[in-house]
Amino acid sequence: MTFTQTNTNPVPEYRDEHLSIDFENGVVKVDSATATFTRKQYELLRMLVEHAGQVIPRETLLQNVWGYSTEIRTRTLDVHLSHLRKKLAPYGDRYIERVFRVGCRFQPGREVARSAVQ
């Protein structure tokens, strides 16, 4: 069920000059080195990337990735975001932007020529 499609923008992949994500096979690469993510981390990342450029409220993330109601107060999301940033090093902070008291936003990098695909 991890790999079933539930979201709004089912693009099969994301790619910029540093980061590439193959949503079909669940393969993420940072500067062409494969990075591995746990399920929750991956879900979170996908959620963010599929809404690239948009601010996503914490509540929305908690609901969509965790299924939590909006009442629950937990630090889990923060911890996961932290892990995500770390695994996207050294670009973590650049990609995952904090929006104070609201949530966060995936800030996409420069698009890359698709012809260069190996």
Partner DNA sequence: GGATGGAGTAAAGAAGTTGTAAAACCGCCG
Partner DNA sequence: CGGCGGTTTTACAACTTCTTTACTCCATCC
- For residue 90, the minimal CB distance to DNA (Å) is 12
Q: How do 13-15 and 19-22 pair as beta strands?
A: antiparallel
Token pair of 64 as six digits: 């969509």
List the alpha helices (DSSP H) in 1-118.
39-50, 58-61, 76-87, 92-95
Residue 80 interacts, among DNA, its own copies, none and using kind-specific CB cut-offs from 5 to 8 Å, with DNA
Can residue 88 be called a binding residue for DNA (CB under 7 A)? no
Out of DNA, its own copies, none, what residue 71 binds, judged by CB under 5 to 8 A for its kind, is none
* Residues within the interface to its own copies (CB under 8 A): 1-6, 24-26, 38-39, 53-55, 99-102
Token pair of 114, please?
């698709």
Tokens in use for 4?
């079933």
Contact 45, 118 (CB under 8 A): no
Question: Can you tell me the distance from the alpha carbon of 30 to that of 77, in angstroms, rounded to the nearest whole number?
Answer: 22
**Site membership for DNA, residue 94 (CB under 7 A):** no
> Closest CB to DNA among 31 and 97?
97
**Residue 54 binding result from DNA, its own copies, none, given CB thresholds of 5 to 8 Å by partner type:** its own copies
Token digits for 76? 């889990």
Binds 98: which of DNA, its own copies, none (CB < 5-8 Å by kind)? DNA
Q: Which stretches of the chain bind DNA, using CB under 7 A?
A: 36, 38-41, 58, 66, 74-76, 78-82, 85-86, 98, 100-103
